[in-house]
Amino acid sequence: MFPENEQKFDEILKKSLKKHREPIRKDFAAELLAKIQLAEQQNALRKVVLQEKISLAAFILLPVGAIALMFAFSDMVVEMGRLLVELPPLIGQILITLSKQWQLLVYYTLAFLACLYGVHEMLRPESQ
């Protein structure tokens, strides 16, 4: 074949193949969309069911687990309870002590604010 014939052959191939149409049922797209919608609905339903199962399991398992932990580490639970009871008066005492040292508090606050301002200035973009 001569080069011009080669080119002609390529053009014929291109034209003929472009003219070819595959037969497709008219309702193919509609059926496919319906199938996809059904699959989506099923997925959504599956998700809801899974969430329900998880929440139900959590509703049952969490209290059971908490009770089991309380039995397993009863000493620790008692200790924590004692700490919780003792904590409010302790906080009160700390606040009273700190209020007496208000000057120190002011110095620390000012120093902290100065540091914060320094960091802000350092990290601020130059264009601003």
Partner 1 sequence: MTDETSQNKQIGLIHQLRSGDSSAFADFIARYQQQVFLCCRTLGLNTAETEDVASETFLAAYQGIGRYTGGAKLSTWLWKIAYNKAISYIRQKIRQQKLQEKLQNQYTDIQKDEVSEPSAEIVWDAVKKLPQDQAIAIVLFYRQEKSIKEIANIMKKGQNTVKVHLFRGREKLKELLGDKIERLY
Residues at the contact surface with partner 1, assessed by CB under 8 A: 1, 8-10, 12-25, 28-29, 32-33, 35-37, 39
Residue 28 or 102: the one with the smaller Cβ distance to partner 1 is 28
Which contacts of 5-14 are long-range, i.e. CB under 8 A and separated by 24 or more positions?
none
Alpha carbon 106 to chain centroid, angstroms: 40
Tell me the closest approach of the beta carbon of residue 104 to partner 1, in angstroms: 57
Residue 33 or 69: the one with the smaller Cβ distance to partner 1 is 33
Residue 37 or 55: the one with the smaller Cβ distance to partner 1 is 37
Tell me the closest approach of the beta carbon of residue 52 to partner 1, in angstroms: 23
Rounded Cα distance between 16 and 9, Å, is 10
Residue with tokens 């620390």: 108
Rounded Cα distance between 61 and 55, Å, is 10
